[in-house]
Amino acid sequence: MNKKTTRINKLIDILKIRGFVSIKELSSMLNVSEMTIRRDLEILKNNDIAENIYGTTVYNPAHTVVKNEDEYNLLGEVKKKNAQKDDIGRFAASLVDEDDIIIIDTGSTTERIAANLPTDKSLSVLCYGVNILMELRRNPGVKMLFAGGFYHANTQMFESPESIDFIKGVRAQKVFISAAGVHRQLGVTCVNSYEVPVKRAILQSSVQKILVTDSSKFDVVRPAFFCELDRIDIIVTDNALGDEWRRLIAEAGIKLYTV
Amino acid sequence: MNKKTTRINKLIDILKIRGFVSIKELSSMLNVSEMTIRRDLEILKNNDIAENIYGTTVYNPAHTVVKNEDEYNLLGEVKKKNAQKDDIGRFAASLVDEDDIIIIDTGSTTERIAANLPTDKSLSVLCYGVNILMELRRNPGVKMLFAGGFYHANTQMFESPESIDFIKGVRAQKVFISAAGVHRQLGVTCVNSYEVPVKRAILQSSVQKILVTDSSKFDVVRPAFFCELDRIDIIVTDNALGDEWRRLIAEAGIKLYTV
DNA sequence: ATTTTTATGTTATGATAATCACAAAATGAT
DNA sequence: ATCATTTTGTGATTATCATAACATAAAAAT
């Protein structure tokens, strides 16, 4: 992975959280010259992620570029997949009803759910990811519940045994769960083992289990198994999903939405 | 109605819509000098409605100040107190050592501790306030622990029974605790009863108990009692503290720092 | 291994913004 | 109306930012 990409990713993360940051600060945070930051921001500007006004850089909360497999790739042309994730997120968000209690898992796609949540509805949302929390804070209609613990930088989530207890004490209409792999025999998987108890707890606490993931995750197996496919009620993914999967999903009695 | 109040209300409305505006533009829109706008923004800043970085003013979508009776009324003497709070926060932050594990309570003063924490030291920090979390995330040397739960907008904190368990499982060198009232006979108090179990838990989990509060809170009694004064090891406050309190604190064997 | 391309840092220069002190104007109370 | 207080404006000073041109370093390609 090249240095520039890594830096730009950090830059976006910082902007997402803070909303607006001065170039000077970004420069010292990322240990590069201000000139480099300016050049990076030029790229973000072209991708509609941030706007640079005299003195400060402002993050655009409505941006459609989505993190893909742990990293943004703005230099290549993988923007298509990012648009897909935003579409998936927007659609999933539309499944939410007035006064719903929902749980939002970690991940880049689920982040787009949080960002696209209706602002005119009264909602309760449980989450444990910092990126999700930041998106939710923009939404005045949301009553927030947050499961804390120890911070894991790679997934931007908090987690602890007490958190699991907290989640188990919550009841929700819908859970939006993410996955790094979906396999016919081997079930639904994620990357880190610490995610497993959390994912199992949120599945247990919700009436409707909605899996949100782009089509590239199908047929993929990841190290940490957290549930069988048939526990899922609804899948939201993009329309690049193959026919055999569509049949398989229908046979399993799962409602499928492709966007 | 006051001219100034009207202008500030218009200003907030403009910011709400645009998100970020330059002072120059605001000045011409409202037909007053830039200096006046700057002074108005000083007030908004103290009320967490907007932040002014070199060049532009950014609206804070998560601001907690609510319009009442059709307009904002922000004209207190918040300004003076704010500088004091930052001084207290900066001093308290200087008490932190390399590799310390610290707990930071909610509050505007404790937020200033988080903001002034050294960036060159490796630290672990436990908190449960969103404002504190935002400040900590700027600091790359900080390992974060977060106690979640249900969100309380008035204190910007999360809280739940499972959180208390989580806190009880943590051990720290220092806790920085805030208070809304400190009274000779009636002890240390806060406003909301839900804060009490949290405050008691963080006191229990720390070696050193450091009370940070401005001098206006002394002789004040608030509804929710959480500990006797003599449980405190160190008090950090401003130098407006009266002589009888200095004597009292000394007699109680508490180390006092006034800034 | 050498060339070419790309990425980053440095410097200088002009533009813009922030700050301060003081003056002017508006407001409010007696 | 008069005086005190608050609010606003002005200009000079200082600090910060943007841009471009150039130099250097690192990667990629041949």
Question: What would the pLDDT profile of A129-159 be if each residue is shown by its tens digit?
Answer: 998 998 898 787 899 999 999 999 888 899 9
Closest CA to B55 of B22, B33, B99: B22
Give the best residue of B34, B104, B133 to mutate against chain A (max A CB count within 10 A): B133
pLDDT digits (tens, 9 = 90+) for A60-74: 766 666 665 555 555
Among A34, A173, A37, which residue's Cα sits nearest to residue A100? A173
pLDDT, average across residues A216-234: 96
Residue A31 has a CB neighbour count (10 Å cut-off) of: 8
pLDDT at A49: 84
Flag whether pLDDT at A77 surpasses 70: no
Mean pLDDT (chain B, rounded): 88
C-alpha distances in angstroms, B124 versus A99, B95, B98, B206, B238?
Answer: 37, 14, 10, 13, 27
Do the beta carbons of residue B109 and residue B213 sit within 8 Å?
yes
Q: Count other Cβ atoms within 10 Å, centred on residue A2.
A: 8
User: Which residues, including other chains, have CB under 8 Å from residue B78's CB and lie 6 or more apart?
Assistant: B43, B46, B47
pLDDT at A15: 86
Low-confidence spans in chain B with pLDDT less than 70? 1, 61-83, 138
Query: Between chains, do A58 and B56 touch, taking CB under 8 Å as contact?
Result: yes
Protein-contacted bases of chain C (C-beta within 7 A): 7-11, 16-21, 26-28
- b/e map of A122-147 (b: 16 or more CB within 10 Å)? ebbbbbbbbbbbbbbbebeebebbbb
User: Cβ contacts (< 8 Å) between B57 and chain A: which residues?
Assistant: none
Contacts of B22 in chain A (CB under 8 A): 53-54
pLDDT of residue A81: 65
Q: What pLDDT is recorded for position B79? A: 42
**Whole-angstrom distance, CA of residue B216 vs CA of residue B10:** 33
**Closest protein residue to C20 (Cα–C1'):** B35
Query: Which tens digits make up the pLDDT trace of B195-245?
Result: 999 999 999 999 999 999 999 899 999 999 999 999 999 999 999 999 999
Its pTM stands at: 0.81
Calpha distance A35→A33 (Å, rounded): 5
Asked if B146 and A146 come within 8 Å (Cβ–Cβ), the reply is yes
Residue type for position A169:
G
Q: What pLDDT was estimated at residue A155? A: 87
Nucleotide D5 C1' to residue B61 CA (A): 35
Q: What is the pLDDT of residue B76?
A: 46
Residues of A in contact with B162 (CB under 8 A): 162-163, 165-166, 169
Query: Can you tell me whether residue A139 is helix, strand or coil?
Result: coil
- Classify residue A67 as exposed, middle or buried by CB count within 10 Å of its CB (0-12, 13-18, 19+): buried
What is d(CA B24, CA B68) in angstroms, rounded to the nearest whole number? Answer: 29
Contacts of A229 (CB under 8 A, 6+ apart): A182, A184, A187, A188, A252, A254
Residues of chain A with C-beta less than 8 angstroms from the C-beta of B61: 19, 137-138
Protein-to-nucleotide distance from the CA of A59 to the C1' of C10, whole angstroms: 28
Closest partner residue to A148 among B19, B20, B163, by Cβ?
A: B163
Q: Give the model's pLDDT for residue B246.
A: 97
Check residue B69 and give its pLDDT.
44
* Cross-chain Cβ contact A29/B54 below 8 Å: no
